[in-house]
Each structure stands twice: as structure tokens, then as C-alpha cells.
Structure 1
Amino acid sequence: MLDWILNNWFLSLLIANYIVAISAAFFLIRSNQNPRKTVSSLLFLVALPFLGLGIYYFFGLDYRKSKIFKRKDLNANELIHNWNKRLHISDDDLDKYEETFLIDRLKMVKLLRHNQAAPLTLSNNLQVLINGRAKFNQLFKDIKKAKHHIHLEYFIICDDHIGNEVIDALIKASHRGVEVKMIYDSVGSDISRAARNKMTAAGIEHAAFMPVLFSKFTRKANYRNHRKIFIIDGSIGYIGGVNISDDYVNEPINYNGNYWRDTHLRIEGHAVKSLQAQWLLNWFFIKEQEDQYHIHKDYFPEITLPENKAVQIAASGPDTDWANIMEALFIAINTAEETVYITTPYFIPNEAILTSLKSAARSGVEIHIMVPKKGDSWAARYASRSYFEDLLESGIHVHWYHRGMLHAKTMVVDGLFATIGTSNMDYRSFDINFEINALIYDHEIAEQLNNQFLIDLEYCEEVHLDLWIKRDKMNKFKESFCRLWAPLL
């Protein structure tokens, strides 16, 4: 038997492949996923030996249901649950806001509270920060004032010019006695050993999120921490699209020739507690402290601010029961009555979002979508363009931003609701990566983002249906081919 296997090694591997493939097909059928996704996965398993198994392992399994990310959820820790209860607003209390800023938005508020136990917070001061320099200028001021702790979590941290400025500021804070803890994504970040050693010597705790080693590559390479969170003393928080890298700062010393347009949000108030809770969950996950939580009381300080801006934090990832951010965007679009303005670097929507956008447009809602003309991914660019004809035929306005890389991730609905965060409007953000968004129920912030959208339109060209359908056949083929791989991009 062994001799036969050795003499027919390729055939033996092929037989083994299909034994495993049949088992995978059985579990795939039993999982009751979307029929189109199931049929596609089965086709890969049958038609592509070896490669099909790899594609199924990465993209066919429903990790949200299988719970391979074993960590405690928001209610698993008693202390976090206690502050959640203090911020909790009952359904009866919410009803009094029906005639105010929450009109037609109560479904979204209740959805997240039920899905994720994410409280609606009413006492917040907000500052919209346009582009990297505005963010870092304000951030350095806040770091200098830090007294107890600084917690940060980023997809990209590089020890380049701006990265070293941030690291140096954190080291100075640590020398003042401020607790500094950093989470960085193992794939997205590029921090040298020298920089890590320098932080360690200064007393800064830092940890890579799901580090990718060769032996663990197949399990961990694809599920990345795409969040950008910075928390100072539990009362000031930052969230948005700006990573810690020179790419995000348009200045001569670190300018790479590609203008970077991005949006970030500074929060002061109770919503920071939700950011803190999400950061803590990832910190405990990384440190494998499932059974012993240590939460200092100053992580959730008392904050006395008048009711000003209503904010809800939506976090999603393979570890959550529901696609919280995608569902929030879905409801926001479906409840729109007048306008929807979307800014996203990658527009590769799933069927639910695409249908909601087209249905809203055909029902009379004015929808504008802004995407970069070039972008930083060839495949994502063409996959995105494959949706344009459908959008344009439904009456949706598509705008190509040509000044540089448009990286902002914002949406404004009816001039009343807005979201700023880390989630792109694509499969990867909705289903694969760990993301976090601030949902803002406030006319003033929505108006600021609408005004910025109009400013950005000055650097756009609108895509018109009559010209778009005349594009050459080679581009159409590239779009169709890349769209096949949309869930992988």
C-alpha cells in the first residue's frame, strides 16, 4: 500500500483532496448559507483541486457562526456590563425622542442595542477632523494632557516620520507615569524591532493582533484588525480612517506624491466608554486573559457633560453574532427619505446593500457615491466599477475623486444621521475584518460632512450612464473578472 502511494503520489494527493472536499461540501450544505455562495464554493471544491480547499477554508467557512474567535463578549465582564447598564436607555425612554433628532432612527438604535448591547450615549462633544495633519495636531495636544492612561489600536502603525512622532509622544507620556498600551495589526503595521524595543524600555506595553507566523498563516492571515482607535484617560477618543503612517500626512517631509483625503472624529464624552470596552476586549483577547480581567476604575471615569450629541458605537468582526455595521448602514439607507451621501475608498457592496441603494434611489431618494478614480488596488478598482452601470441605471450619482487617494469612510443620511469609522463599503469590512464605526444622530455634524462632500466634489468628475456603457470591451472584461473575486478583495 505504501509503495503504491509513493509510486502514485499525485493521484494519492488528489484522492485525499477529494475526500476532504466531500467532507467540506457536507458541512457547507448543512450550514444553510446563501445558495449562490454555497454553489460557488462547491464549484471551487470540485473544479479546482487543492486550490479549491484553500479558497473554501479562507472564504467559505462562516466564522461568525463557528465562533473560532473565542473571547468574551461585551456582557461577559461584570464591570463592563455595569457601565453599560448605567448608560442604558430603555425603549420607553427612547420613545420621547421620536419627535426630535432620533425621528426615523429608532430602529437603528434598537438594532445595535439588541445585537451588541451597544448603548446610545447622549452626552458627547464631537470634532470632525479633515485629513491626517488635523488629526495629529489635535492628538498631540491631547497626549500631552494625558494623566492616567493611553490606549490605542491601529491597523497600520509605521515608525516613519509621523509614526516616530507618535511613538516619541507616547514615550514622554509613559515617563510621566501615564499607562500606555498599544495594539497593532500584525499584517498592516510595520514597526521595526528597534522601535518596539524603545517602547518596551520606556514601559509601553504593545502587542500584535493575531501575529502571522508561517506555521499559523492559513488560519490568521485573512482576519485583520482594521480598527483605528485612540483613547486618552477614558474620556477622549479618536475613530476614523487615518492610520499612523506618512501616507496619511500630505507634507513635503513625508509626502509620497499621492494626496491622501481622509476623515477622522474626535469624541469627548460617554461614547468613549464604548470605545474603551471594545479596546479592552481585544486587549484581553491578545493577552489571553480570558479568566482574569483587571479593569482600573479610571478606565471608565465619571464624565459630566450636558446632553449635546447622540452617538452609538458599532463594532463588528468575525467574533460578533451579527454584521452590526452592515446592518446599521442597511437600515439607514432603507429609512432615508431625501438624501444619502457616501464616501468610500472601496465600493464592493454585498447584495443587501446594493439592493437597498437601488431601491432607495428608485423610490425618489437622491443618492451620491464618491470613490477614488485610481485608488490603491487594481483589482478593487475594477471590481468597484462593475457595479456602476447598475447604480447609474437606478438613478444613483457616481463621482470619481481624482485629486489623489480618497480614503474617508463616511455616510450622511437626510442631513440628520452620519457615520464616521473604519468600515469600507465592501465584503471585507462587512464580513472578514474587525471594524468600528461611530453612528452620529446630529444635524450639525451631518451638515459638516455634507459640506465637506460638496468641497470634495470640486475634485471629482461624475460618471454618466450614456458614456459609461460605451467603455471598451477589455475594461468590461476586467470588471467582470474582478467582480468574481469581490469577497476576496
Structure 2
Amino acid sequence: MDNIITTVILINSVLAILTVFREPRDIAATWAWILLLMFIPVGGFILYSFAGRKLPQRRLFAYQDQDASEMDGLIQQLVGKGPGPSVEKRADALPRSARSLVTLFQRINQTPLATNNNVSVYTSGQRFFDELKETLRNAKETINIEFYTFYADELGCEIRDILVEKAKEGVDVHVLYDSLGSVGTTGRFFKPLREAGGHASSFLHRRFNLINFQLNFRDHRKIVVVDGRIGFVGGFNIGDQYLGRKKKFGHWRDTHLKVSGSAVYYLQSHFLLDWNASAVKEPMNVTRRLYFPDLDERLQGDTDMQIVTSGPDSDDEQIKMGYIRLIQLAKKRCWIQTPYLIPDDSTIDALRIAANSGVDVRIMVPCMPDHMFVYRATQYFASQLVKDGIKVYYYQNGFLHAKTMVVDDQLASVGSANFDFRSFKLNFEVNAFLYDQKVTETLAERYEHDIQQSVLQSEESFQKQSRWMTFRQYASRLLAPIL
């Protein structure tokens, strides 16, 4: 019997090592998967089949270079026709710190600086969804929507019904959603929209489904573009819980932006590329002028920004690089909000260097979990960062879902990317990086208000935890790279 058990353990160990090392990945994720496969012999391999295999690059997108190149050319022409100084002159007028970030994204994400934007900040679900619904009702030509979560609940039905009415009026409506993030929402839910002439598709549904065992790569982006002139980007999804209607979470604290100006072109282009990668039988014409109208001077403002995307289709981890660069640029403050705090070594080092250089580094996370393992790992990293003088706050007034960063007086980021391995490496994400004092001040004011509803953690508070709680945090931390 002992020989049989020894043989099984040996075979399982060899298979675990061969399985994980057959695909290149970072060392942290490699060891996390080996631990899981070795300690959970059968279940671990089943989980790996669904969530551990890397994205097959050759099968990812059918459009890629041609569509992106055509849109880039069109956008450059439209931006060049706009009023005011050229993009190059606006970039040169930015502070040196901002210029370095602009250059970074131009090189690793091919993301030009978008100038002359008007930006509104929403942190209340009620205000955000009221504005979103009003904007959708006023649509004249096109509505393009992309959300990780589009639930078939009261709010979801309300927004779907607005889309149905707009489709009946002749508005060109497209909805893209993530099938796992929108669990419970089936194609039948969008049948009225299709019957009205609209379109709906799950993200990459024909390429990565249960048969293909690719559940680990999710479309976590939240993009809305109406008439090619007004865009939304941030952390809210569509569902009742984002209005605070779920007892489990209570009040939902998030951050979303409404944008008008040249940045909307880039939100639109990312939606079109994602749609054409997913709905391969219903491709959209990416150079159709209906999607890229001339800039409306009445909607423009003074905010400069870049729309940055990242995902497993690239090894550059563009948004993570942006986060690290923001931390490096901080001279006075670096204030972060994230529901999940599971940073890799590079971001941990950046945070520690900033804090030990005299920068006021603050990180705000929820006081409650929505994913237990993820939350325990968040608590572990919080306890470690506190030791380096980083102020960690637990938000008490419901659930904190905002993904924001405020640096000094003129740099900020708002988007869909959390401060964790998953958002850095596995999810398709989108963030707005902003170079504007007014918007930065607004986000800082909201942060300070949230601090009044938060509890500052200390080394002593973590030391008072039970041994069982500490063990769960350490155990969750070992799986952090694959959570």
C-alpha cells in the first residue's frame, strides 16, 4: 500500500511539473500552480484545464493590425482638423513628469495623447446610472456598450429596454458582455434587442468557451460610447448591486468617468476591435464615419488624457507599467483605491521606495470580501505594506469597488484595472490616465471624504488577529499569482 501511495505521489509530482513548465510564465505563477497541482491531485488538474492554460496568441484576434491601423489613420486626420494647439504642442506644455508617462504609453500601448476633453466624475451609482440612462435615451445614431457584468436583473432589464427602444428608432446598437462576469445572463435576455434590430454578443464567445477550456481570460473592460461623441469608462458594471440593492454589499462605492472630446475616439476604437474579435459573423466597419464624427467644440474641455488598454494578448502589462510609473513620479502623495490588493514584486518595490522616500502613500480597500481567497490575500499584503509606513485604510461604508490613483496635483488614473495579478496579466482592462489638476483635485476630495468612513490599519491591529485568520491570509497569499 505504501509503495502504491508513493508511486501515485511521484507520478502526480512529475505530471504537475511537466504540465506547468510546458508553457512559459512568471516564476510566481509557476510555483503557485505546482503547489496546487501537487496538493490537490485530481481537482488541481481539472482547475488547471479551465483556468491555468495560457492564451493561444495565434488564435486570439482575427482583425489585429489592419483594423487598428485603419482606425489610427482616421483618428489622426480627425484630431488634426480639431481646434486649438496640436497634440504635440499640448504634450510639450505638460509638466515633465506627465510627459514621461505620455511617452511610456505611446511606446508600449501605441496610445496618443487625447486633448481637449471634458470629464465628469461619478462616485454614486444612482447619479452614474441616471446620467447613463439619460445619455442612452438621447442617442441619435449609435450606441456601443461593453461591460464585464450585464446582469438580467431590474437595472439590467431597464437598460436593455432603453436599448430596445433606441434600436426600434433606428439607432445602431451593439452590446458586448463577458459570459462569466454576466453569469445568469443568456442570449435569450438580449432576444428583444436583436428582434428590434440591435446586436449583442458575449466576449470571444466563439473562440474561448467551455469546450476550449479558456475561462481565465475575462473581458473586464467597461466602455460605453454614444453617437461617437460621449464616452463612459470606469469601475461600475450593470446590475442592481451597483446601485446598493444587495444586502450582502450594501452601499456600493465606485468611480466612473463621463468623457467628451478626442478621447472618445480611442474608447470607440477599442470597442470596435473587441467586437470584431468576438462577433466574427457580424463585424463592424471600423472606419465608418458614423462611429467617428467630427469633434464637437461644444462638448470639449481642457483635460488631457490617454486611454490605455492591457490584456493577455500582450506581454507588456501596459496598465501595470502605468501604475508603477505613477508611483515613481510621486513627490508628495500617491493615493490608491482598489477592491483587490494583490501586487507583484515590482509594484510592491515601487510602493516601498515611494513610502521610504517621504511620499504620502495611502491604499484604501474594502472592509468586506466578495471573493474570500482574494480578500484574505488582500489582508496579507496590507499587513506587509503597513510595516513599510504605507497607510492602509479599510473602507467601512459598504463595498469599495473603485480603481483609482491620485498622484501629486495633476496626475490620476481611473478605470477597470484592480491592483492585482489578475488585472495586470489575465484580464482585458481599460484605464483613463489623466493629466489635469481639476480632475485630480476632485478625485482627491472624494478620497478624503472616503477616509472619514474608513479605519486606518496598524501593525498592532494585524497582530491582534487570531492565528487561524493569519494562517488563512498566508495560505491565500501563496495562491495570489493565480487568484
Mark yes or no: TM-score above 0.5: yes
For residue 447 of structure 2, what is the aligned residue in structure 1?
A: 453
For residue 126 of structure 2, what is the aligned residue in structure 1?
A: 133
For residue 365 of structure 1, what is the aligned residue in structure 2?
A: 359
| 1:172 maps onto 2:172 in alignment | no
* Aligned partner of residue 231 in structure 2, secondary structure: strand
Q: Deviations over 1:57-106 (max 9, x none)?
A: 56665538x55423433664442121354459xxx9758745x5443122
What amino acid is aligned across from residue 319 of structure 2 in structure 1? I
Matched residues in 2 for 1:275 and 1:182: separation? 14
For residue 73 of structure 1, what is the aligned residue in structure 2?
A: 64
- Change in 2 beyond 3 A, CA 1:136/1:355: same
For residue 6 of structure 1, what is the aligned residue in structure 2?
A: none
1:209 touches 1:225 (CA, 8 Å); kept in 2?
yes
1:231 touches 1:238 (CA, 8 Å); kept in 2?
yes
- Change in 2 beyond 3 A, CA 1:358/1:14: closer
* 1:264-303 superposed matches below 5 A: 264-288=256-280, 293=285, 295-303=287-295
- Change in 2 beyond 3 A, CA 1:230/1:255: farther
2:412 touches 2:440 (CA, 8 Å); kept in 1?
yes
* Aligned partner of residue 22 in structure 2, secondary structure: helix
For residue 22 of structure 2, what is the aligned residue in structure 1?
A: 27
- Change in 2 beyond 3 A, CA 1:69/1:50: farther
* Aligned partner of residue 125 in structure 1, secondary structure: strand
What amino acid is aligned across from residue 158 of structure 2 in structure 1? E
For residue 83 of structure 1, what is the aligned residue in structure 2?
A: 74
What amino acid is aligned across from residue 354 of structure 2 in structure 1? A
Which residue among 143, 147, 152 is the counterpart of 2:145? 152
* 1:160-199 superposed matches below 5 A: 160-189=153-182, 190-191=184-185, 194-199=188-193
For residue 475 of structure 2, what is the aligned residue in structure 1?
A: 481
1:74 touches 1:80 (CA, 8 Å); kept in 2?
no
* Aligned partner of residue 250 in structure 2, secondary structure: coil
- Change in 2 beyond 3 A, CA 1:220/1:392: same
Cα distance, 1:343 vs structure 2: 0.8
Matched residues in 1 for 2:382 and 2:391: separation? 9
* Aligned partner of residue 122 in structure 1, secondary structure: strand
* Aligned partner of residue 156 in structure 1, secondary structure: coil
For residue 436 of structure 2, what is the aligned residue in structure 1?
A: 442
Cα distance, 1:405 vs structure 2: 0.7
* Aligned partner of residue 300 in structure 1, secondary structure: coil
Q: In structure 1, list runs of 5 or more residues that go unmatched.
A: 1-9
- Change in 2 beyond 3 A, CA 1:26/1:443: closer
Matched residues in 2 for 1:117 and 1:215: separation? 30
* Aligned partner of residue 368 in structure 1, secondary structure: strand
Q: Deviations over 1:275-318 (max 9, x none)?
A: 11111111111122699855421111110436611010011111
What amino acid is aligned across from residue 286 of structure 1 in structure 2? S
TM-score (structure 1 length as normaliser)? 0.87
For residue 314 of structure 2, what is the aligned residue in structure 1?
A: 320
1:342 touches 1:370 (CA, 8 Å); kept in 2?
yes
- Change in 2 beyond 3 A, CA 1:18/1:462: closer
1:372 touches 1:400 (CA, 8 Å); kept in 2?
yes
For residue 83 of structure 2, what is the aligned residue in structure 1?
A: none
For residue 466 of structure 2, what is the aligned residue in structure 1?
A: 472
Matched residues in 2 for 1:278 and 1:123: separation? 20
Cα distance, 1:378 vs structure 2: 1.6
2:223 touches 2:231 (CA, 8 Å); kept in 1?
yes
Matched residues in 1 for 2:264 and 2:408: separation? 26
Q: Deviations over 1:212-268 (max 9, x none)?
A: 9997256221111111111101111001111110001136xx776611111110001
Matched residues in 2 for 1:141 and 1:36: separation? 46
- Change in 2 beyond 3 A, CA 1:485/1:11: closer
- Change in 2 beyond 3 A, CA 1:211/1:289: closer
Matched residues in 2 for 1:304 and 1:363: separation? 44
What amino acid is aligned across from residue 178 of structure 1 in structure 2? V
* 1:1-40 superposed matches below 5 A: 24=19, 27-28=22-23, 31=24, 33-40=25-32
What amino acid is aligned across from residue 151 of structure 2 in structure 1? C
Which residue among 248, 263, 277 is the counterpart of 2:255? 263
Cα distance, 1:211 vs structure 2: 3.7
* Aligned partner of residue 149 in structure 2, secondary structure: coil
For residue 398 of structure 1, what is the aligned residue in structure 2?
A: 392
Which residue among 190, 203, 206 is the counterpart of 1:209? 203
Cα distance, 1:154 vs structure 2: 0.7
For residue 103 of structure 1, what is the aligned residue in structure 2?
A: 96
* Aligned partner of residue 475 in structure 2, secondary structure: helix
- Change in 2 beyond 3 A, CA 1:24/1:382: closer
Which residue among 204, 220, 223 is the counterpart of 1:229? 223
Aligned length: 471
| 1:119 maps onto 2:115 in alignment | no
1:249 touches 1:255 (CA, 8 Å); kept in 2?
no
Cα distance, 1:209 vs structure 2: 1.4
2:145 touches 2:224 (CA, 8 Å); kept in 1?
yes
Matched residues in 1 for 2:51 and 2:476: separation? 16
Larger CA deviation: 340-349 vs 287-296: 287-296
What amino acid is aligned across from residue 22 of structure 2 in structure 1? F
What amino acid is aligned across from residue 320 of structure 2 in structure 1? M
Q: In structure 2, list runs of 5 or more residues that go unmatched.
A: 81-85
1:142 touches 1:232 (CA, 8 Å); kept in 2?
yes
For residue 349 of structure 2, what is the aligned residue in structure 1?
A: 355
For residue 3 of structure 1, what is the aligned residue in structure 2?
A: none
